Amino acid sequence: MTDPRRTEQPHPDFADLDILDMPDLVRALAEDQRLAVEAVVRAAPALARVVEGALPRLAGGGRLLYVGAGTSGRLGVLDATELTPTFSWPPERAVALIAGGDRAIREAVEGAEDDFGAGARDVRAAGAGELDVVLALAASGTTPYVLGAVEAARAAGAFTVGLANNPGTPLLTAADCAVLLDTGPEPISGSTRLKAGTAQKVALNTLSSALMVRLGKVYGNLMVDVRATNAKLEARALRLVCHATGEDEDAAQRALAEAGGSVKTAIVMLRLGVGAAEAVARLEAAAGHARAALGESLLGEQRGEPFSPRKR
């Protein structure tokens, strides 16, 4: 029986994978990963549409909800978790739902991905609403848990995004915005933790990073909302302030201390010669965008308008 999903089909170029010598085996597996990046590049227009649709909702106070099973679910957990230390995104606004619950992060929970109702229940339990953005991932594009989640999310008025590695699949049809990551057959037949998973990781990196840029979490290409929770990040925060302002480390350190460790606030303080309270006020007036707070030009689309349900 032939499975129409490309990710499930044996790759004709790797029929002798198990008898390759070590250098050729490693090279074959590594080189095949390049196709993951190419798939994401092809999907760039769809990813841009996701950012455009998600931005006003998040600017209005909405959340990112990640939904997946197995590898896809774990990649969602990873992306959600990294937003807080990297961009100071509130952890309660990055919710990861995985088939089988938290136990499935570390071990396989057999059959969980086949439960359509569980996906719907998990989304309802998370309180999905009109301001929320649901990123639903399934390499196959047919995972029942994920499809159930999308159905419930759409019923709640959330903006749903389907990311799948097979064209013409139910997930891409069900979601408000479809992102096809067409990576084709895997070198190890059906092992979507390989380039299908890599493509999902790159796509999530791209999506969440683009959103954070547009939400003012980045000044130039500096991650000025980094949360300095350890010595490495404290040193990084100091370097960021020095780079953005041209000040020496002593001045940057004093500003950071007065700003409570906020890189963005320290930059505005030093660039404008104001105190922490004034810098915070300027940032609040600029919706958190350092460039606007500094009086520099800012694309209108970067700040955006908060989403209103009346505009749907």
Asked whether 117 and 146 are in contact (CB, 8 A), the reply is: no
Cα→Cα distances 107→95, 149, 217, Å: 20, 21, 34
CATH architecture of residue range(s) 6-214: 3-Layer(aba) Sandwich (3.40)
Alpha helix positions (H), 92-194: 116-125, 144-155, 170-174
What is the torsional sign of CA 120, 123, 127, 131?
A: negative
How does DSSP classify residue 188?
A: S
For range 60-79, the mean pLDDT: 97
pLDDT above 60 for 265: yes
* pLDDT band (50, 70, 90) for residue 311: very low
More confidently predicted of 227 and 119: 119
Please report which confidence band the pLDDT of residue 147 belongs to, taking 50, 70 and 90 as the band edges. very high
The lowest-confidence range among 59-73, 108-122, 144-158, 266-280 is 108-122
Average pLDDT score over residue span 156-162: 98
Q: Which of 82, 151, 234, 278 is catalytic?
A: 82
Order of strands across the sheet with 64-68? 94-98, 64-68, 133-138, 159-164, 177-180
Q: Where are the domains of the chain?
A: 6-214, 231-303
* pLDDT of 15 higher than 90: no
Main-chain dihedrals φ then ψ at residue 177, nearest 5 degrees: -130, 125
Q: Report the C-alpha gap between 112 and 36 in whole angstroms.
A: 27
Give the pLDDT confidence of 277-295 residue by residue, as tens digits.
999 999 999 999 999 999 9
In this prediction, residues 106-134 reach a mean pLDDT of: 94
Please state the separation of Cα 83 from the chain's center in Å: 8
**Contact status, residue 185 vs residue 194, Cβ threshold 8 Å:** no
Among 288, 261, 287, which Cα is nearest to 276's? 261
| Predicted structure pTM score | 0.91
Q: Which residue has the higher pLDDT, 222 or 4?
A: 222
Task: Categorize the per-residue pLDDT at 25 as very low, low, confident or very high, splitting at 50, 70 and 90.
Answer: very high
Q: Which residue has the tokens 């959330």?
A: 158
Summarised one tens digit per residue, pLDDT across range 199-208 is 999 999 999 9
pLDDT of 149 strictly over 50? yes
Q: What is the pLDDT of residue 305?
A: 61
Q: What is the largest CA-CA distance in the chain?
A: 71
What is the C-alpha separation between 37 and 31, in angstroms, rounded? 11
Confidence (pLDDT) at 286: 94
Pick from 254, 191, 243: nearest CA to 221: 243
Contacts of 113 (CB under 8 A, 6+ apart): 69, 70, 99, 100, 143, 144, 145, 146
Fold adopted by 231-303: Helicase, Ruva Protein; domain 3 (1.10.8)
pLDDT at 5 over 90: no
Specify whether 258 is catalytic.
Answer: no
The Cα–Cα gap between 59 and 248 comes to: 34
User: CA-CA distance, 152 to 120, in Å (whole number)?
Assistant: 5
Active site residue 52: no
Instruction: Pick the more confident residue, 14 or 26.
Output: 26
Instruction: State mean pLDDT over 34-42.
Output: 97
pLDDT at 303 over 70: no
